[in-house]
Amino acid sequence: MNQLIAPSILSADFGNLQRDVEMINQSQADWFHIDVMDGNFVPNLSLGFPVLKAIAAHAKKPLDIHLMINNPDFYIERFCTEAKAYCLTVHYEACTHLHRTVQKIKSCGVKVGVALNPHSSVALLEDILFELDLVLLMSVNPGFGGQSFIEQTFRKISALKRLIQTCGSNALIEIDGGVGLDNFQQLFATGADVLVCGNSIFASENPLETIRILKH
């Protein structure tokens, strides 16, 4: 399959959000990556439903919504309908009954992902991997943009790739945190399918050209 680039809206200019959404629409990026934080599961707050609905109204590419929140089951239907998620990702660490949560997302007709924090082993997903469309490996500690990439992530990608093949799963591997021009080629070569890029795109002098380089 094609290797996918998902610019992270968390790094956009919120004073010019529609401009940045239109930039992604015009770019060679594949998805919008949207981080939702509750100030509880992670020490930060981010987008609420009014902003999400505004993004959805203008976005011309699929919305890859990453829930960094406790009790995600309470909000699944709203993220699937109001926010128009293409793929909805919850954290393994935030779900007491993960299989139930995964099935609830699937029942909404939305692709489902599960995220793992840097300290969590990929082996934790062995018994549910065949149910998933995507596994998101956090390559920084979740909650803030602009952090340095955790090198151990390369080992986790390789281990997850082997597990996916063993389980007969079709899940994509997504990497989020510290991804940029200095490591994107190695990440794809190691087995990543989707790269979430924030500061490396929005802080660059030419975001459209940076996306083009990352894509090709």
Question: Among 123, 126, 148, 127, which residue's Cα sits nearest to residue 138?
Answer: 148
CB 146 within 8 A of CB 126: no
The Cα–Cα gap between 189 and 146 comes to: 23
State the virtual CA torsion across 2, 53, 8, 101 in degrees, nearest 10.
Answer: -70
Biggest CA–CA distance in the chain, Å, is: 46
**Residues annotated as part of the active site:** 35, 176
